[in-house]
C-alpha cells in the first residue's frame, strides 16, 4: 500500500485527540472521544524525571495546568497532581494511552525531543514493539526520526518542519 492509500492520507486525524472544552487536549477523555467518532489520534510524547514516557505537548506545565515548572522534572507519583485545564483529567502515560486505544484507531505519535537522542526513542520503540494497532511517528527532530529509521525501519515516519532559531538539536 502506498502512503497515499494509508490512514494518514485518507482520514481526518484528531490533533491531540478530539477535545471539546470539557475534554482537554492529550487527555484520556479526548482520546476516547476520538475513538468513539472513528478518528485516528495524533498525540505528543516526552519523558519525565525518571525517563517514563508521558503524553503532553508543551515542555512547560503552565499553559495546560497553570503550574510553574517543566514536564521533564515531574516524577511519576506527581502526574495525578497536574490537572489539565482545570478538569479532573491528568497527564497520561504513553503506556496507558496505548492500553486505552488498543488498536481501535491508528495513532500518529509526535516525538517531542529537543535533547540527546536515544532514551525517549528507545522507550517509545519498546512499547510499540508489542502494540498491535496501526501507528506512525513524526518529529521536528530529524535525529529522532533517524533513530526510528534504524531501529524500526518498517514504521512510517514523518519529518515536521519549522525554523530553529535558538534551539539546537543533538544527535
Cβ contacts of 101 within 8 Å, gap of 6 or more? 31, 35, 41, 107, 133
| Cell numbers representing residue 112 in the block | 517531542
Nearest to 47 by CA among 78, 17, 15, 76: 76
**Contact at 8 Å (CB) between 150 and 157?**
no
Local confidence pLDDT in tens for the 171 residues of the chain: 667 678 999 889 999 999 988 899 999 999 999 999 999 999 999 999 999 999 999 999 999 999 999 999 999 999 999 999 999 999 999 999 999 999 999 999 999 998 889 999 999 999 999 999 999 999 999 999 999 999 999 999 999 987 766 555 555
| DSSP assigned state of 15 | E
| DSSP assigned state of 154 | T
DSSP string, 27-52: SHHHHHHHHHTT--EEEEEEE-TTS-
Amino acid at each position: 500500500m502506498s502512503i497515499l492509500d494509508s490512514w494518514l492520507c485518507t482520514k481526518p486525524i484528531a490533533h491531540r485527540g478530539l477535545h471539546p472544552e470539557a475534554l482537554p487536549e492529550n487527555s484520556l477523555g479526548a482520546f476516547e472521544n476520538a475513538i468513539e467518532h472513528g478518528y485516528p489520534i495524533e498525540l505528543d510524547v516526552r519523558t519525565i524525571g525518571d525517563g517514563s514516557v508521558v503524553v503532553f505537548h508543551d515542555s512547560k506545565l503552565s499553559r495546560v495546568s497553570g503550574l510553574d515548572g517543566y514536564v521533564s522534572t515531574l516524577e511519576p507519583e506527581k502526574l495525578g497532581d497536574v490537572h489539565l485545564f482545570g478538569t479532573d483529567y491528568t497527564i497520561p502515560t504513553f503506556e496507558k494511552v496505548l492500553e486505552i486505544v488498543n488498536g481501535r484507531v491508528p495513532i500518529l505519535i509526535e516525538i517531542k525531543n529537543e535533547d540527546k537522542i536515544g532514551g525517549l526513542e528507545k522507550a517509545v520503540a519498546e512499547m510499540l514493539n508489542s502494540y498491535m494497532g496501526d501507528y506512525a511517528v513524526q518529529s521536528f527532530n530529524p535525529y529522532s526520526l533517524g533513530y526510528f529509521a534504524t531501529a524500526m525501519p518498517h514504521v512510517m515516519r514523518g519529518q515536521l518542519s519549522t525554523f530553529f532559531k535558538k534551539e539546537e538539536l543533538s544527535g
